[in-house]
Amino acid sequence: MKALEIMTHSPEETEKLGERLAALLPRGIVVALYGDLATGKTCLTRGMAGYFTKNARVHSPTFTLVNEYGEDPVLYHLDLYRLSGAEDLLSIGYEEIIESDGICIIEWADRADSFLPEERLDIFLEHRSEDSRSLRFEARGIPDRILECLHNP
């Protein structure tokens, strides 16, 4: 498994990183986001959605659980923060989403660990200071070139 760590120093920088990442993602990939509240998960996703849908109004789908952006491919944005159990996950069509040719971003992925595919991109977000965030990318069974290209734009 290949890993890469990148620091960002503002929400805008995190969004730009998300946009760069989105340009590298193959269809059908699952991106699992891990991190405490306010570590930049939604900022990163906003940048990714912006790549597929200009002027997208991205917010965390905490109450709806799933938002969709773009058309070809569709970017599925899942927020599992309020997930009360596996039944909730299955009731939103999770299996169909992760098996589609769209791109699936999952916030609070730790709440669905046993349901995550083995091949995915894990991103661990952490506070480093008031303005700085650390994002650690781990490629699990997916091409290392994604991380190489992200590291060397």
Query: Residue 116: its pLDDT value, please?
Result: 93
Specify whether domain 2-151 bears CATH 3.20.20.140: no
pLDDT tens for each residue of 128-148: 888 899 999 999 998 888 898
- pTM as predicted: 0.91
Query: Residue 61: its pLDDT value, please?
Result: 52
Query: Residue 151: its pLDDT value, please?
Result: 82
Residues 6 or more apart from 92 whose CB is under 8 A from it? Answer: 65, 66, 78
Please compute, for residue 145, the number of CA atoms within 13 A of its CA located in the half-sphere on the CB side. Answer: 5
- Ordered by start, the domain boundaries in the chain are 2-151
Please compute, for residue 135, the number of CA atoms within 13 A of its CA located in the half-sphere on the CB side. Answer: 31
pLDDT tens for each residue of 22-38: 999 999 999 999 999 88
| DSSP type of residue 43 | H
DSSP three-state, residue 26:
coil
Nearest to 26 by CA among 84, 77, 75: 75
